[in-house]
Amino acid sequence: AMADRSLSSTASGRRQLSGVLDANDYPELIDEGTAACYQRLVENTSCCLDQQMGPGVVGSPVRRPGTEWRCELPRCEDWVTGRRGDDMLWTPPKVDTCRSPRVLYVHGGGFWYGSPQSYGYPQLASKLAARIGAIVLVPDYPLARVGNHSTALAAVRQALAWLARYGDGCTRGSAPLFVAGDSAGGGGG
């Protein structure tokens, strides 16, 4: 039987999450807001997954020449298997393709897993595009054992070069260009 995982308050106002941890051991770490959020997770583990996309933002796959690779078990351990290498381009509404800022966002995953279409990256990239009015490209670089750090870095550099040239009739350097990422993408981009 599963342990009772309910949140209760003691007479002194300290919170206790029975069956999991005793918040009394760490009162300075578990404030009321954190305790309430944790209780929501205990009751419904998918309660906090962000499913909302940036308003009005359009996502389009980008298939650049020479970027195709395959993710097949056991060589590739990601859950997105099969043909890979398509980037995702997120464009906010009413954007000036030639002058709007451009962001290359490199997904994380320790170089072992992740894609432009998994782990919340569509939501993150679309919200980033909407919030700052930027065109956002999330590249799909070859993961470990299919590629290595050098091939991942080369794929990211090729994606950056493509993003710098993006837009019909735009002159090179007409839009600000930024690189961002998280986890392995923050260090490898």
Kindly report, residue by residue over 78-107, the tens digit of the pLDDT: 889 999 999 999 999 999 988 999 999 999
Please give the Cα distance from 48 to 16 (Å, whole number).
Answer: 21
pTM of the model: 0.75
Please report, rounded to a whole number, the percentage of residues in the chain having pLDDT higher than 70.
80
Asked if residue 28 has pLDDT above 90, the reply is no
Report CA torsion sign: 6, 8, 14, 16.
negative
Beta strands in 31-134 (DSSP E): 58-62, 69-71, 82-84, 87-91, 102-106
Q: Verify cis geometry, omega within 30 degrees of 0, for the bond prior to 74.
A: yes
| Collapsed DSSP state (helix, strand, coil) of residue 109 | coil
Q: Which residues of 85-115 are buried (b: 16+ CB within 10 A; e: fewer)?
A: bbbbbbbbeebeeeebebbbbbbbbebebbb
| Number of other CB atoms surrounding residue 10 within 10 Å | 10
Q: Report yes or no: 36 and 49 within 8 Å, Cβ to Cβ.
A: no
